[in-house]
Homo-oligomer: A and B are copies of this chain.
């Protein structure tokens, strides 16, 4: 179904005249022009301005090796348009897993070739725009050429000039963590809110500007336009942040503030004029020396994306990010599968048991400890007996895998100690019989799910990765959860730098060689690379359920994430905490900021091919009728219909389970509750469905009465309507099983 038309050839000379490209249905338009000799673009949606004229360009860094091909002339100005090529593209592709069985990739493209002749250098770059009915992507391309061969990026300066003081849902821009609560302010309110928005308690924090925010950034205009800025296909390039220019901005920053250990980047501000207030400027994550990228032509940047609609539901159903990624590069994908799992995890997070085996040492060298002789602390969770109980539970309830954290030596002193050789990823603690447990699991049709916490010592992980994956193959693991807690080793690097993004990709490729699926925690926020490498079945890269045990997340958290974090790919959010009050079974005083039913809803509203049933078997035992939904719900889909959506308020979505006629509907809301009226138009005509509704009880409330729920059953058909009331912090979950 691939179609490609080259519409317009070479247009010369183009001078100052703007070049335009519109989306297939005409509602999105992007124009390119030169502001003097600086490239700029603007963007409209249904005739309304989305992005005002905004400059494009990169500042390059000087390098002592310049004479050998390392360039230093900025790619900011001095440009002339050499060529403009327009084309159109329309294909439909099938994801290995996803929200829908097929995805249409339909865009009009404009590629602007620019020449820059400065100081006897003749250089050419291409700025490529792809315009969809729900937004656009643009990227810089650097063909191989004599005068642009290797170069260092001081900073990318892609601007996004907003039309006004929009409402924004934002996280503080940080080189090392994404695990903050989302802030909702006007753009003009970011600076005032900034310091209180930083998660200073995180294991690694590196903020750089009081108006620095992360992508994906969701906004809403007073005219009712929803605008989302993010990036797609960020692989061997630094992750982008956005720095807002506001009335108080004196200069664009390029320095750390706060409590990072990286004593590195030199403050440099741009040599170019400051854009107007309400303009976002790209800000890349630096390496240990403060530079943002080492590039070799031919190469490209990731896509810079703007998704836009006047209907919030379109933001959630958009496939723009996935479409801007390369097609799947893994030939045989038969070993990649959706997974529902439980695990030895929540009880450690809550504080009732421990990852480490002994408390005997203030620090350990893992290869020098006689692990069979040390004194066990009695709190080690990953022991044979407990893991077998979890395997039994998984087998009994149709869960595919059991995650076990803390199975391997090194947890005694693993975090934030600049300890390079922290884990070896192959040696189990004495009470974890890796062969016996895998055999036992397999005998019951269950697999164990591997865990590789790297403690952000990436050098150490890369040294052991081949042996670690061989061990997995040997015992029959086919998925690994990786972790990057703490500051990066080598020292001075950051979680979202070019080199770390390359590391995550290296892990993904090595894993693919061993037919291993990857679920990366604390790794960089996803940008749709799961299209190209579908063994990337999940990421954390945001504030997950674990924070409910650390003090909680606001009830609106999960009705923001699908607009922001989930744009780039699925999240291993680990829902399913039915015993929302932790003090009922532990010393942890915290509670989950949803109702019990709200937890069920997340399996539908937070799309992921990897879904955890995160609570303890003994807690599920108390709510087996509600747990039934977790057992029933699919995690791969032929279709998805977003029925209702408003950022930070509510999301309602219906999904058709892969290869079946069954549908599941989830509704989730914020602290204000929500009333849903759901027309079952999407059901097959003439079919009847057994409908089970898991609803908040009338007096349910996420804080005061979270576990009050009502389960009702009826038969429904196309055209019927469901009226459902979500409690404050609640939701609903519906299963529709075709008769």
Listed in ascending order, the chain A residues whose CB lies under 8 Å from chain B are 63-65, 68-70, 144-146, 149-150, 152, 259-264, 266, 287-291, 294, 296-297, 361-363, 365, 413, 415-420, 459, 462-463, 466, 490-493, 499, 502, 506
Contacts and interface: CB of A to CB of B under 8 A. Distances in A.
A264 B492 contact: yes
A69 B418 CA distance: 11
Given A144-B363, A150-B363, A296-B419, A264 B264 contact: yes
Nearest to A293: B418
Given A150-B363, A459-B459, A491 B259 contact: no
Contact of A491 (B69, B144, B266, B291): B291
A335 to B, nearest CB: 23
Contacts of A492: 264, 287-289, 492
A27 to B, nearest CB: 39
B287 A490 contact: yes
A362 B418 contact: no
Binding site of A, secondary structure by majority: helix, strand, loop or mixed? loop
Nearest to A236: B420
Contacts of A297: 363
Point out which of A262, A264, A413 has the most chain B C-beta atoms below 10 A from its C-beta: A264
B362 A69 contact: yes
A317 to B, nearest CB: 36
A326 to B, nearest CB: 14
Contacts of A506: 463
Contacts of A145: 362
A64 B294 contact: no
B261 A263 contact: no
Contacts of A415: 68
B417 A259 contact: no
Given A264-B288, A289-B288, A417 B363 contact: no
Point out which of A260, A288, A420, A491 has the most chain B C-beta atoms below 10 A from its C-beta: A491
B417 A70 contact: yes
A285 to B, nearest CB: 13
A291 B288 CA distance: 12
Contacts of A289: 261-264, 288, 491-492
A46 B553 CA distance: 74
A294 B152 CA distance: 29
A290 B263 CA distance: 8
Given A264-B492, A490-B490, A492-B289, A150 B419 contact: yes
A8 to B, nearest CB: 30
Contacts of A296: 363, 365, 417, 419
A297 B262 CA distance: 23
A537 to B, nearest CB: 23
Contacts of A365: 296
Contacts of A63: 261, 418
A262 B294 CA distance: 14
Contact of A288 (B64, B259, B288, B294): B288
A259 B65 CA distance: 10
Nearest to A204: B64
A416 B466 CA distance: 29
A152 B419 CA distance: 11
Contacts of A261: 63-65, 289
A416 B67 CA distance: 11
A258 B466 CA distance: 40
A566 B252 CA distance: 52
Contacts of A459: 459, 462, 499
Contact of A144 (B68, B69, B260, B362): B362
A287 B288 CA distance: 10
A65 B419 CA distance: 12
Nearest to A64: B259
A139 to B, nearest CB: 19
A418 B294 contact: yes
A68 B417 contact: yes
Contacts of A418: 63, 70, 150, 152, 294
A419 B462 CA distance: 18
Contacts of A294: 418-420, 491
B149 A65 contact: no
Given A150-B417, A490-B288, A492-B492, A69 B463 contact: no
Nearest to A362: B149
Contacts of A287: 490-492
18 contacts: A64-B259, A65-B261, A65-B416, A70-B418, A146-B362, A152-B418, A263-B290, A264-B492, A287-B490, A287-B491, A288-B490, A294-B418, A294-B491, A296-B363, A296-B419, A420-B499, A462-B463, A490-B490
Contacts of A466: 466
A109 B262 CA distance: 40
Nearest to A490: B490
A420 B299 CA distance: 14
A246 B415 CA distance: 43
Nearest to A287: B491
Given A68-B417, A69-B413, 11 more contacts: A144-B362, A146-B362, A150-B413, A264-B492, A287-B490, A288-B493, A294-B420, A294-B491, A296-B417, A296-B419, A492-B492
Nearest to A503: B459
Contact of A490 (B152, B413, B463, B493): B493
A714 to B, nearest CB: 56
A311 to B, nearest CB: 43
A697 to B, nearest CB: 44
Contacts of A462: 459, 462-463
Contact of A263 (B149, B266, B362, B499): B266
A634 B420 CA distance: 42
Given A365-B296, A506-B463, A65 B417 contact: yes
A265 to B, nearest CB: 8
